[in-house]
Amino acid sequence: MYIKEYDNVMGKGFSVEQSVNGKMCKFMVSDNGFDSETEYEYRAITKCVAGFLTISENKGKLSQIATRWEKNRLHTLEVKNQYGNYQTVLAMKGSKFYIMDKVIIENLTVGDVHSSFPKMADHGHWKNIGSKTWADPAYGVLVDSFKNITLQMV
């Protein structure tokens, strides 16, 4: 797994590259200023049983919203920010993470990834970061290490 910090017009963030079933998967993690305990209004774009996309709105904690959906159903998650605009905090591309907020990645467990995002499940990754149970953080290295870092695990 590789973690690289970036700084652009959108602010500071990280790109995470990890091997998923032998293929490299890259996604961006940004800190949009949200926290895990505040309830936010959100809009979720999900794929229904018939295969088309639907939009639903509700309120919830950002640390729990991403894992409310059945596996491979969530497509995009947007949260209303302090200015009243919706901001994308999770986007999927081909059942893999594309964009994610720091609060979401910090709160994902191995079990959450298996249950909600099975295409991102990689036992080699979890073995390298020391996860032993489904309750362990899926990206444990990132939880304490969102600083200027570059990690390389083989």
**Alpha carbons 139 and 105: distance in angstroms, whole number:** 7
> How far lies 80's CA from each of 40, 42, 93, 98, 144, in Å?
6, 6, 22, 20, 26
Tokens at 47, concatenated: 């794929």
Q: Given the structure tokens 């467990």, which residue do they identify?
A: 109
Q: Given the structure tokens 């700084």, which residue do they identify?
A: 7
pLDDT digits (tens, 9 = 90+) for 66-97: 999 888 899 999 999 999 999 999 999 988 99
H/E stretch holding 131 reads: none
The structure's pTM equals: 0.84
Phi/psi class of residue 133: alpha, beta or left (left: φ > 0; alpha: ψ in -120 to 50)?
beta
For residues 121-125, give the mean pLDDT: 81
For the cut 90, the answer to whether the pLDDT of residue 41 exceeds it is yes
For the cut 60, the answer to whether the pLDDT of residue 142 exceeds it is no
**120 with 17: CB under 8 angstroms?**
no
Strand partners, 78: 43, 88
